A and B are shown apart, each in its own frame.
Chain A
C-alpha cells in the first residue's frame, strides 16, 4: 500500500468556501397565506446582519408579497449554520471533485459534468457560469445565476463534509499516524481518481467513452413542456 500521506497532508485551514469569494448559497422556499415564494441566490456572509433585514424588506416590497413573509425570509437566510462551521478547521487534500449540473430554468434545461479543484481557492463559480452561458449562447439571463448557485451548493456540501471529517479525526484517539490516513481514505472516490488519472499508466486525455458524460447538454423547451414539467414537480412535492 503506497503511502499517500506524505504527499497530501496539509495543515488544516479554517472553514471557508473553496472559492475566490466566500459566498454561500441560499435557497428559499416559503409559503405564507397561500403565496409561495421560491428563490435561490448567493449571499456574502460577511455583510452585516442588518443586510438580511434590508434584503428581506426589499424583496417583499418588490415582489409585493404579504408582510408575513418578512420574518420568514429573515429566518430562512440561514447564516447560523455557516457561523457554526466558521471557526472549525477543515482538511483539504488533493481533491478534484466532479460537479454535476442538472437544472431547469424557465425554458432552458442544462446538464453538465466537470471536474473542480477544491484546492484552488481562486476559483470563481460566477465567472464559470458567465463564461458557460456566453459560450453556449444562452439568452435567458436567469440561467447564469442558477448555474453558479448549483456549483456553490455542491462545493458547500463538500466543505461541510470536510469539516465533519476533520472533527471526527480529532476525536479519534488512534493517535496521529492513523489520523493522517483518514483524510486520504475518506476523500471519496475523487482523490483516488486523481491518482489514477494522472499516474504514469494512463494519459491525461479523457477516454472516448467518457466524452459524452462531460459534454454540456442544452435544451430549450416549449411552453407545453414547461407546464408539464412544472406540474410533475408540484405533484412530486418539490
Chain B
C-alpha cells in the first residue's frame, strides 16, 4: 500500500561501547537481520539537535532497528513478542494483528509530530483493550510510533527478556539500556539501568554484563536475554561508599599480586581493608593493561597496548571465565606460535614437577594432586590444571559408567511402573464412560416415561 510520506531511517552510529563488548553477543540470539539494536555511545552529547537531522514534516523517522517493518508483512520478531496473535488457540489471528498494527501506525502518521496516546488508539479500534495495549506498547518500543528525533536519544536500544518465567504478565518488558555509562561504577550513586531511578537501599549488580538494576526491576524481571535471577548479586548501597577503590588501594593490589601471585589471602592482607573476594573482583575488573603484570604466560613486556587491536581482539574473550579471558587476550596479542610455545613449556615444567612430587609422595599422589588441583583452581592459574584434570577425568569416567548402569536399571523399573499406572488410568476412564452411559440411559428412560404419560393423558382426555 502506498505510504503517504517517505520513511527515512535514522541509523545510530555503530561504535562499540567502551566498557563491555558483551552486548555484541546478543545478536546471535535474534535473527540475523539486525533486529538487535546497536547500543548507543556512552558519551552522547547533551544537545541532540547537533547530531541528528532536523525533524521534517514530510519525512517519517524510523529507527534502524525497526527497518523490518512493512505494511503487508509480519516479521518474525513480531510473532515472537506478541505470541497471542500467532498461536492457533484463540481466534485472534495474524490478520487481526495486522489490522491493529496498521491502524495504530496510520493514526500516528497522520500527525507525526504529535505523540498518540494509548487511549486514543484503543478508542478507535474494535477489540479487547489488553491486546490493543500490547500491540501499542510493542510499536512504541520499536519506535514505529511516537518516535521523533528529539526523543530518539532518550530511547536507546531495546532488549527484551525472553526467559521471563518469573513474571506473570504477558506484556513486553520495558526497554533496557545496553550500556550503562562506565562512569557509573566509579561514582557512589547508583542508577538503575532499566528504569533510570536512583537506587536507594539495595541494588542488584550483574557482573557478567556490568549492569545495575534497582530492586524493583530485579523483582519484576526486567533484565535482558540470557540473564536469570541468579546472575545478579545484591549490593547494599550502604557499603557502596567504601567499595570505590582509591588509587592507592589499586597500587597496593597490583604490587601484592606481583609479589604473591595467586595467593589471594596474602594479597588481601597486603591491601588491607579489603576481603579476598573484593580484591579478586576488582582485579578482574581492571582494564587489561594492568592484568598483564601478574601473568606468567606472556614473555613480552609491552607497557601499553594498541587500543584498536584490543578492540578487535576483545570479542575473543569469553567473559564468563576471567582467567581464560586474560589468557585468550594475551595469547592473541603475543601471536599464535609464541603462545603455543609458552603453553607447551609451562605444561612440560608442570609435568616434571608432578613427577617429582609423585615419586616423593607415593600413595597419596593422586590425592595430593587433587588437593593441588583445588588449590590451584582456587588460585586461578589455568595451565597447571591441565594435567590434574586428566587424572580427575579418568576417575570420573569410571564413576560415570557405574552411574549409567544404575540409571538404566532404574529407568526400566520406572517404565514398568508407568505401564501399570497407565493401565489403571485406562480402566478408570472406561469406568467413567460406563457410568455416563448408564446415566444417559436412565434419562432416556425418563423421557420415554414422560411421553407415555402424555399420550395416556391425551387419550383419556379425548
Chain A positions near chain B (C-beta within 8 angstroms):
1, 3, 5-6, 20-21, 23, 41-44, 47-48, 50-51, 54-55, 58-59, 61-63, 122, 124, 126, 129-130, 141-142, 144-145, 147-148, 176-177
Q: In the complex, what residues of A have CB within 8 A of residue B128's CB?
A: 21, 23, 41-44
Question: Which of B119, B169, B450 is close to A58, meaning CB atoms less than 8 Å apart?
Answer: B119
Q: In the complex, what residues of A have CB within 8 A of residue B447's CB?
A: 3, 5-6
Contact B119 A142 (CB under 8 A): no
Contact A62 B126 (CB under 8 A): no
- 7 closest Cβ pairs, A-B complex: A62-B117, A141-B124, A20-B91, A62-B119, A144-B126, A47-B130, A44-B130
Closest to A124 in B: B91
Q: How far is the CA of A110 from the CA of B265 in the complex (A)?
A: 83
A-B contact pairs, 12 of them (CB 8 A): A41-B128, A42-B127, A43-B129, A44-B128, A44-B131, A48-B168, A51-B171, A61-B117, A122-B91, A129-B126, A144-B125, A145-B122
Q: How far is the CA of A57 from the CA of B447 in the complex (A)?
A: 57
Known: A5-B450, A42-B128, A145-B122. 7 other contacts (CB 8 A): A3-B447, A3-B450, A21-B90, A43-B129, A54-B133, A122-B91, A145-B126
Enumerate B75-92 residues with CB–CB distance to A below 8 Å. Answer: 90-92
Interface of A, secondary structure class, is helix
Contact B443 A176 (CB under 8 A): yes
**Is B118 among interface residues, defined by CB-CB distance under 8 A?**
yes
Chain B positions near chain A (C-beta within 8 angstroms):
90-92, 99, 103, 117-120, 122-131, 133, 168-171, 443, 446-447, 449-451, 454
Contact B129 A41 (CB under 8 A): yes
Q: In the complex, what residues of B have CB within 8 A of residue A48's CB?
A: 168-169
Contact A58 B133 (CB under 8 A): yes
Q: In the complex, what residues of B have CB within 8 A of residue A54's CB?
A: 133, 171
Interface of B, secondary structure class, is helix
Q: How far is the CA of A50 from the CA of B133 in the complex (A)?
A: 13
Closest to A19 in B: B91
Contact A43 B130 (CB under 8 A): yes
Q: In the complex, what residues of A have CB within 8 A of residue B168's CB?
A: 48, 50
Contact A142 B124 (CB under 8 A): yes
Contact B91 A59 (CB under 8 A): no
Question: Which of B120, B129, B170 is close to A55, meaning CB atoms less than 8 Å apart?
Answer: B129
Residue of B92, B103, B125 contacting most chain A CB atoms (<10 Å): B125
Q: In the complex, what residues of B have CB within 8 A of residue A124's CB?
A: 91
Q: How far is the CA of A184 from the CA of B171 in the complex (A)?
A: 44
Q: In the complex, what residues of B have CB within 8 A of residue A1's CB?
A: 454
Question: Which of B124, B131, B451 is close to A145, meaning CB atoms less than 8 Å apart?
Answer: B124
Question: Which of B91, B103, B119, B126 is close to A148, meaning CB atoms less than 8 Å apart?
Answer: B126
Contact A177 B131 (CB under 8 A): no
Q: In the complex, what residues of A have CB within 8 A of residue B99's CB?
A: 130
Q: How far is the CA of A145 from the CA of B127 in the complex (A)?
A: 7
Q: In the complex, what residues of A have CB within 8 A of residue B131's CB?
A: 44
Q: In the complex, what residues of A have CB within 8 A of residue B118's CB?
A: 58-59, 62
Q: In the complex, what residues of A have CB within 8 A of residue B120's CB?
A: 62
Closest chain-A Cβ to B313's Cβ sits at a distance in Å of 45
Contact A176 B126 (CB under 8 A): no
Closest to B442 in A: A176
Closest to B115 in A: A62
Q: In the complex, what residues of A have CB within 8 A of residue B124's CB?
A: 141-142, 144-145
**Known interface pairs A50-B168, A50-B169, A62-B119; A130-B451 also in contact (CB < 8 Å):** no
Q: In the complex, what residues of B have CB within 8 A of residue A47's CB?
A: 130, 170
Closest to A26 in B: B129
